[in-house]
Amino acid sequence: MDQLTRRRFLQTASVAAAGAAVGPWVLRAQAQSSPVKIGVVLPYTGVYAVLGESITQAMELVFARENWTVAGRKIEMIKEDDEMKPPVGIRKTEKLIDSDKVDILTGPVHSGILMGMRDKVHNSKTILIVSNAGADAISRERCSKWIFRTSFSNWQPCQPMGGWVAKNVSKEVFQIAPNYQAGKDMMAAFRETFLPAGGKLVAEDYPKLGETDYAPYITKIKQSGAKAVFAFFSGTDAVNFVKQFDQFGLKQTVKLTGAGFLTEPDVLPAQGKSALGIITGHFYTPVLDNPVNKQFVKDFKARYNNKTPDGFAVQGYDTAEVILRALKAVNGNTQDKDKLVDAIAKVEFDSPRGRFRFDPKTHNVIQPFIYVREVREVPEFGLTNVPIDKVADVRDPGTGCTLPA
């Protein structure tokens, strides 16, 4: 070995030795000084774009309050449009996990996308905080140590409504919802309490997601003789269905009820007076009389051009609060995922919807209340959902995760 080669060899060896000695510490220090990367998989185009927008806006409202910093680390949101297409959502999820190396994931809206994401998230031990999609299986047979849900399971807003509708509206109901996982879950949850209360399911129908012409379905409802409808639609689907239901004259003879998403503030302005009198079940309405909600409504309107926050915005708000509070509890350490998961599970705070906490068995949010709401016109809000009854402490019936971490 000549002198030059020997010198290079010794330099390389000393650098390698130094790296081996301090490598793990250096890596940890670098990780702690780098931004906290939050990957967001939501629809920003298509039928549910307004939902993705509301969730994102509320998250940004909370992070801005903290100057986009938590435990000394900057917060970075990496947003991906899933286009409400499962293959796209799954591909975007893989990109965020494998290429962007995000610390935490949130989203999606579509239950089918959530089910498609589940194994990638679980197998890569990536923390996912579900900020909308309600697929019941994620709180039951497909639950995971790494998945939490701040929104709802599809069961939660609908199961309490079955018995209520049978007792207070009609025992003869026609069910209608989009033909995908959430629609099927919600209709089944309603029947759990509707049928035992003496209700009769006259008929059910499942138009495609994104349908624009509901005339054939409304004709079936009219011909069925049902005295009431229980429906789940959201976004532009909710606008089209509610307006056409009124335009075809059914509003006068058939009572329209449903899951709360049917008349959320994101769609009420477009539905107009066609929405008056509709009764729905949901965990939130902007008229809730608690200090946190009043401040949230005020701040949201001030930041977003007088826009009234909806339940989707509350889901974004709660997701951001969970992330901030858990990260503060672990001093910003995202390397020890087990400790971060434990911190998330213990998060509890006053949310616009009431006292927020997770069910330790399922990692699904416990709804402080499911409100029975009626669309009315009130001075401060215009058309809005006014609570007329409520059911407390609504937990998904999942019994817990049996799968390995």
- DSSP annotation of 388 reads E
How confident is the model over 253-311, as pLDDT tens digits?
A: 999 999 999 999 989 999 999 999 999 999 999 999 999 999 999 999 999 999 999 99
Residues 164/141, Cβ–Cβ less than 8 Å: no
Do 191 and 206 share a domain, yes or no? yes
CB–CB of 316/53 below 8 Å?
A: no
- Whether 108 is covered by a domain: the verdict is yes
What is the C-alpha separation between 163 and 192, in angstroms, rounded?
A: 8
Residues 6+ apart with CB under 8 A from 41: 80, 82, 89, 92, 93, 96, 105, 106, 107, 108, 113, 117
Q: Are residues 311 and 335 in the same domain?
A: yes
The H-assigned helical ranges of 330-403 are: 337-346
Same domain, 233 and 221: yes
Give me the pLDDT at residue 8, please.
52
Neighbouring-strand partners of residue 394: 367
Category of 306 on φ-ψ map: left (φ > 0), alpha (ψ -120 to 50) or beta: left
Report the SS3 class of residue 113.
helix
224 exposed, middle or buried (CB, 10 Å; 0-12, 13-18, 19+)? middle
- My answer on whether 161 and 246 are in the same domain is yes
Residue 378: inside a domain, yes or no? no
The token duo for 110 is 């579509």
Specify the CATH number for the domain of residue 207: 3.40.50.2300
Q: Whole-prediction pTM value?
A: 0.89
In a domain, 206, yes or no: yes
Q: Phi and psi of 293, rounded to 5°?
A: -65, -40
Instruction: Summarize pLDDT for 185-226 with one digit per residue, the tens.
Output: 999 999 999 999 999 999 999 999 999 999 999 999 999 999
Q: Report the first-to-last Cα separation within the chain, whole angstroms.
A: 52
CA separation for the pair 369, 351 (Å, rounded): 12
Confidence of residue 15 (pLDDT cuts 50, 70, 90): very low
How many structural domains compose the chain?
2
**Domain shared by 246 and 171, yes or no:** yes
CA dist 186 and 178 (Å) reads 10
Q: Contact, 204 vs 176, CB < 8 A?
A: yes
The DSSP string of 210-228 is: T----HHHHHHHHHHT-SE
Judge whether 127 lies within some domain: yes
Q: Is 254 inside any structural domain?
A: yes
Together in a domain, 146 and 295: yes
Domain that holds residue 269: 155-282
Same domain, 136 and 200: no
CA–CA dist 228, 208 (Å, integer): 22
Asked which of 237, 265, 282 is the last residue of a domain, the reply is 282
CA angle 272, 277, 279 (to 5 degrees): 110
What's the pLDDT tens digit per position in 334-392?
999 999 999 999 999 999 999 999 999 999 999 999 999 999 999 888 999 999 999 99
